[in-house]
Structure 1
Amino acid sequence: MRPTGPLGSHRRPSVVLATTAALLALGIAGCGPADPAAGPQPGGPASASTAAGAVEIRDPWVKAADKGMTAAFATLVNGGDTDVTVTGATTSVSPMELHEMTMKDGKMVMRQKEGGIVIKARGTHVLEPGGDHLMLMDLRQPVRAGDALTVTLTFGDGRTEQFTAVAKPFTGAQESYAPGHGAPMPSMSGQPTTSPAS
């Protein structure tokens, strides 16, 4: 016979609470780190590498060119908690190098960027005419306004990331992406491509 009165009404909630607590304890134990299928837990080494890999590429574009050399630009945003270094870039239409513009003997010159392009933790690094950029060294085909180029970045930890840059005409900055025009440029690799005399 079921108990009634104050004693019975207090006993039932106690039993329900004890059963619920036991089920919760079993559920939590099943998802603990000891379960190999559960994968890496937040806060471990995996979350640090995930944060380091969070690079957003904003407003990418490439300067249109018929031949010789040109450059790609973008804004690189590091959403992670550690610095990220771009160590290389590739595209199907040209070999690529990481370049910077710097003053030498009172003139603006282009050179390879030693140590890669570093994007600070929670920071932004702008690739732009007159500054750091991704150099397309020897075009195998014209890059005309409206063309879409796929560029693959390589990072210091071996990861890669692709983005699409649309070509557009640009005449703003005074630096040049072919020998003989604008700022002097040292020979980077192979035979330099000369532009027609203007």
Structure 2
Amino acid sequence: MASRRTLLRTVVAGAAATLTLTALVACSSNDAAQATDAEAITVSDQWVKAADTGMTAAFGVLHNSSDREIRVTSAHTDDARSTEMHEVVDNGTGGTVMRQKDGGFVVPAKGSMTMVPGGEHLMLMGIPKPITTGQKVAFTLRFADGSTAEFDALARDFDGNQENYNPGEPEHSGSHQ
């Protein structure tokens, strides 16, 4: 009889331990699934092109640690009247044109999205005062789930990529400074 009770206690204890472990794993998985988009994104190699007037751009790498793609829906900095997400595309005549990116930026699951001169980037429009080399520019990114993330980018000199800008009006084109 004693050995049956011991066996029964061992089985009950094993079942309880299995249920506890299963509950902990389920809670951990649910916590990870509930993480906001902002919590899953990190920014690296971020910088802004120094500029005296007009427009300038910010670049860097967005890293996504989650198992789902994440969409950046908008960006903001107090150092510009407006901030847009831009892409550079073929203009159909052998050149390129810069335009606002419909739908924002998508950062793939467990992947990254690189913002570079001549490619996708954050466009700072109507800078009210010069952005000088060495200056820190603070940004806020907003994601599809409504969460936000902040990062600073250091301004530096850069002479490349004088793209044409097309804000959706075919007859308008200007120079990205």
TM-score range relative to shorter protein: 0.7 to 0.9
Contact 1:51-1:81 at 8 Å conserved across structures: no
- Residues 1-198 of structure 1 aligned to structure 2 (within 5 Å): 41-44=27-30, 46-50=31-35, 52=37, 53-94=39-80, 95-106=82-93, 107-173=95-161, 175=162, 183-187=163-167
Q: What's the offset of the Cα at 1:50?
A: 1.6
TM-score of the superposed pair, with normalisation by structure 1: 0.69
Q: What's the offset of the Cα at 1:171?
A: 1.1
Identity among equivalent pairs (%):
37
The gaps in structure 2 that reach 5 residues or longer are: none
Query: Hey, which bits of structure 1, 4+ residues long, moved more than 3 A?
Result: none
Structure 1 CA distance for aligned equivalents of residues 166 and 118 of structure 2 = 16
Describe the SS at the equivalent of 1:71: strand
Contact 1:89-1:97 at 8 Å conserved across structures: yes
Q: What's the offset of the Cα at 1:140?
A: 1.1
Q: What's the offset of the Cα at 1:48?
A: 1.2
Equivalent position amino acid for 1:152 in 2: T
Q: What's the offset of the Cα at 1:51?
A: 7.3
Aligned pairs, number = 158
The gaps in structure 1 that reach 5 residues or longer are: 1-10, 176-182
Contact 1:87-1:156 at 8 Å conserved across structures: yes
Structure 2 CA distance for aligned equivalents of residues 51 and 43 of structure 1 = 14
Q: Which has the larger radius of gyration?
A: 1
Equivalent position amino acid for 1:88 in 2: S
Structure 2 CA distance for aligned equivalents of residues 49 and 128 of structure 1 = 31
Contact 1:51-1:82 at 8 Å conserved across structures: no
- Residue 187 and residue 47 in structure 1: after superposition, are their counterparts in 2 closer, same or farther (change >3 A)? closer
Describe the SS at the equivalent of 2:27: coil
The structure whose residues are more often strand, as a share, is: 2
TM-score of the superposed pair, with normalisation by structure 2: 0.77
Indicate the residue corresponding to 1:6 in structure 2.
none
Describe the SS at the equivalent of 1:48: helix
| Structure with the larger RCO, 1 or 2 (CA within 8 Å, 6+ apart) | 2
Describe the SS at the equivalent of 1:82: coil
